[in-house]
Amino acid sequence: MEIDSVLSLMTTEIQGHVSSLGKIWAAALRRAKIRLNYKTWMLFDFASTIFMVFTYFLLSFIIMPYDIKRAGYGSSYFTFAVIGIAISHYMTASMRSLSLTIRLEQFYGTLETILSTPTDFIILFLGDLLYFLMYSTVFLVIILPLGIILGASMYINIETIVTLTVLITLLIASNLPIGIISAAMILRYKQGNPIGWAITWINQFFAGTYFPITLLPSYAKYVSMLLPLTFSLDAIRYSLIWGVTILNGRVLLDTAIMIIYTIIGLPISIVIFRKIYNNVRRRGGLSAY
Amino acid sequence: MSTDECVNLLRGEEGQVLKVSFLGRASASWRYQLKILFSYRMHLALEIIDIVLSAMIYYFVSFLVSPDELASLGYSRDYIAFSISGIALSRYIWTSVSRLAHKMRHEINAGTFESLAAIDTDNFRSWLVGQVLYGFTWSSMWFIGTLLIGYGLSDEFSKNPYMLLQATLIVILVVAVHSAIGIIAAGMYIIHKQLETMLVLLSTIIEFFGGVIYPLSILLNYPVLYYVSLMIPFTHGLELFRRTIIDNTPIYEPKMLFHLGALLVFLPLLYVSFKVFEYYLNKAKRLALLSAY
């Protein structure tokens, strides 16, 4: 019997109707409920990030401000670092949440069941992503005030908060294609962690999470320019350090670049994912890990 | 039927199937894990990128660090040597400590742990030793790789064979002390399951209090934190390692002897750790929790 005949035999009409937004919310809630079961895990996760803030606070005692100033980020290395740490969870959410979810479901053998439901995988992914965004926002809300208490100099007002919200949305959207392609690779090659680590390290290194990219040699800067995270970090830091909004020239340019990355990257990555996903599904490889 | 009757019924005679020596079986357990590692070439390549980039981050951070500040706090003026020695040792400890718990999680999740633990004790121990050896082999590759990058980037690292020998002995001692934490964590993992994040937290605490990327003397501004840091074995291990491999300070100097003594105080923990592991394993066997996750 042909694959298509088997599929048509098993295809049924979708019963009942739940809106896409409702499904996304339900998927986010599902992930949140699973995670909330592991309270100790969450506590340790928060504690690790807080210790990281203190580590960079102590490191800043021996840092000279010249290069930070030259890169346009004021004169405090701690402020520079704490903003990077505060938004690092958004970076992870956009680049690794999908692949982490796929790898986990793949490993537990539940991926086939989940992806075989009438609900589109994009809906499920968006739900997971929504959960990770909420989780990352809790981090942001804790880390930024902690940084300010320890002496980081930032402008937090209505205007910068609105700008920050827009920039974070763009950070997620522009980096999401990398996450989607990485998830597709996991679906295809069944190799979880190394791809995720490599993406994290490459981004942390070339996008200037811990040091300004002006320190990189000129050839390495080309790699930085290829990563949307470079522009996301620059815009967020510049806005919070100088108290400027999205209308500022430098922030506006970064925003435009992030929009371009999103417009080009998202459709391409979704096409790649769908192609790999359909291929794996047809070959019956969803349950293999 | 009671648990004991059940266990008696299933028990085979000891030594029935043991044809290979303990060391032979431990080495087999070590080799099969290495074979798995080397069969994932892409994984290996990405790990190498990980090692290089994590070291390079601190190379660029070193441009921001004031050498005078570093020297005034009692260290060499080169931040690359300072940070890379710290990162290499902390990652070495971290991977050694977490390896066994990680392996436990993998076997428990895959549902194979019960079969492993149900075989006779000697076989299980040899498997465990093999896994620990593999953990050290893997983390040693990470450690040596990071140090080699450090040697490539900085001239401050010692090339004196006598100092390198001392540094090796210090590393072995530090790893032995910290393995105890790993074995305890692995034992606890059998029952309490969600412990990997605790190990991540532990590594962050170690990095914070151990002064991995900043000079410990800064903590003197916060005396409570400074004294807490002195209670952590890693602080002493890293101080010994850095002084040997960067400053060429021999181990018999009074300051070094203080740190060495402090480190040795924690050594009996290794014996305790095996007892704790055995306690949790037996408890899990009795409660039939080996296959639960």
Which pLDDT belongs to residue A201?
A: 78
User: What is the rounded average pLDDT for all residues in chain B?
Assistant: 81
Instruction: Report chain B residues whose CB lies below 8 A from the CB of A52.
Output: 204, 208
In the predicted structure, residue B191 carries a pLDDT above the cut 70: yes
Looking at residue B73, the DSSP 8-state letter turns out to be T
Angle CA(B242)–CA(B246)–CA(B252) in degrees, nearest 5?
Answer: 65
Give me the pLDDT at residue A194, please: 60
Residue A19: per-residue pLDDT: 82
Q: Is the pLDDT of residue A159 over 90?
A: yes
Cβ contact (<8 Å) for A44 and B218? no
Residues of chain A positioned with their CB less than 8 A from the CB of B56: 205
- Point out the least confidently predicted range of A44-48, A55-59, A130-134, A150-154: A44-48
* B:215-254 residues touching chain A, CB 8 A cutoff: 215, 218-219
Q: Looking at residue A241, what is its pLDDT?
A: 93
- pLDDT at B127 (0 to 100): 75
Residue B37 has pLDDT above 80, yes or no: no
For B64-87, the pLDDT digits (tens) are 898 888 888 888 888 999 999 998
| Per-residue model confidence as pLDDT tens digits over A257-271 | 999 999 999 999 989
Does B16 score more than 60 pLDDT?
no
Q: Above 80 in pLDDT, residue B13? A: no
Mean pLDDT value across residues B242-269: 90
Instruction: Give pLDDT tens digits for A196-212.
Output: 667 777 888 888 888 89
Judged by CB atoms closer than 8 Å, whether chains meet at A55 and B64 is answered as no
- Crossing angle for the helix pair A20-37 and A121-149, nearest 10 degrees? 50
CA–CA dist A249, A247 (Å, integer)? 6
Give kind and range of the element (H or E) at residue A153: none
Give strand pairing partners of B65. A63
For the segment A232-260, what is each residue's pLDDT rounded down to a tens digit? 999 999 999 999 999 999 999 999 999 99
Among B179, B189, B176, B42, CA closest to B109: B189
Q: Among A17-26, A62-71, A184-193, B201-210, whose mean pLDDT is lowest?
A: A184-193
> 10 Å Cβ neighbour count for A145?
14
Report the SS3 class of residue B270.
Answer: helix
Query: Are the C-beta atoms of residues A36 and A130 closer than 8 Å to each other?
Result: no
pLDDT digits (tens, 9 = 90+) for B92-146: 887 777 776 777 767 776 677 767 666 665 667 777 777 777 877 888 888 898 9
* pLDDT tier, B26 (very low <50, low <70, confident <90, very high otherwise): confident
**Nearest residue, CB atoms, A41 vs list B47, B194, B219:** B194
Distance CA B111, CA B293 (A): 9
CB contact, 8 Å: B213 with chain A?
A: yes
On whether the pTM is more than 0.90, the answer is no
Residue B239, C-beta contacts closer than 8 angstroms, at least 6 positions apart: B211, B216, B259
Is the separation of the CB atoms in B78 and B158 below 8 Å?
Answer: no
The DSSP bridge partners found for residue A63 are B65
Q: How many residues does the structure list for chain A?
A: 289
CB-CB contact of A98 with A196 (8 Å): no
Structure tokens at B283: 């408890």
Of B123, B120, B115, which Cα lies nearest the Cα of B24?
B123
Question: What is the pLDDT at residue A15?
Answer: 60
User: B142: which 2 tokens?
Assistant: 């990470």
Distances, alpha carbon A175 to alpha carbons A14, A186, B142, B243, in Å = 33, 17, 29, 43
Q: Give the torsion sign (CA, B196, B130, B144, B160).
A: positive
- Residue B9: pLDDT band with limits 50, 70, 90: low
The model's pLDDT over A76-89, given as tens digits with 9 standing for 90+, comes to 899 999 999 998 88
> Considering only alpha carbons, which residue of chain B is nearest residue A47?
B201
3-state SS assignment for residue B74: coil
The C-alpha atoms of residue B96 and residue B183 are separated, in whole angstroms, by 10
Distance between A52 CA and the closest CA of chain B, angstroms: 7
Residue A100: half-sphere exposure toward Cβ, Cα within 13 Å: 14
> How many degrees, rounded to 5, is the angle at CA A176 between CA A174 and CA A181?
125
Asked if the Cβ–Cβ distance from B218 to A61 is below 8 Å, we say yes
Contact residues on chain B for A59, CB-CB shorter than 8 A = 61, 213-214
- Choice between B148 and B54, residue whose per-residue pLDDT is larger: B148
Could B57 and A191 be called an inter-chain contact, meaning their C-beta atoms sit closer than 8 Å?
no
Interface test with A, best of B214, B224, B228 (most A CBs within 10 A): B214
Cα(B80)–Cα(B34) distance, rounded to whole angstroms?
31
pLDDT at residue A167, rounded to an integer: 95
Q: CA B143, CA B87: separation in Å to the nearest integer?
A: 9
pLDDT digits (tens, 9 = 90+) for A171-196: 999 988 888 888 888 877 766 556 66
Backbone angles phi, psi at A29, to 5 degrees: -65, -40
| Residue B12: pLDDT over 60 | no
At A36 the pLDDT is 81
What is the reported pLDDT for A165?
94
Please name the amino acid found at residue A256. A
Query: Cβ-count burial of B242 within 10 angstroms (0-12 exposed, 13-18 middle, 19+ buried)?
Result: buried
Residue B261 pLDDT grade (very low, low, confident, very high; cuts 50, 70, 90):
very high
Which among A33, A19, A235 has a CA at the least distance from the CA of A134?
A33
Tokens at A32, concatenated: 């949140």
Closest-CA residue of chain A to B192: A40
Q: What is the pLDDT of residue A196?
A: 66
Residues of B in contact with A77 (CB under 8 A): 64
Mean pLDDT of B264-275: 86
Give the three-state DSSP class for A63.
strand
Share of chain A above pLDDT 70, in %: 91
Give the long-range contacts of residues B219-228, CB within 8 A, separation 24 or more.
B219/A58
* pLDDT band, very low/low/confident/very high, at A158 (cuts 50, 70, 90): very high
pLDDT of residue B10: 55
CB-based contact, B265 to chain A, within 8 Å: no
Q: Do B57 and A204 touch, CB atoms closer than 8 A? A: yes
Supply the pLDDT for residue B292: 59
| Residue A220 confidence (pLDDT) | 87
Distance from CA of A70 to the nearest CA of B (A): 11
Tell me how many helices (H) and strands (E) chain B has.
Answer: 13, 0
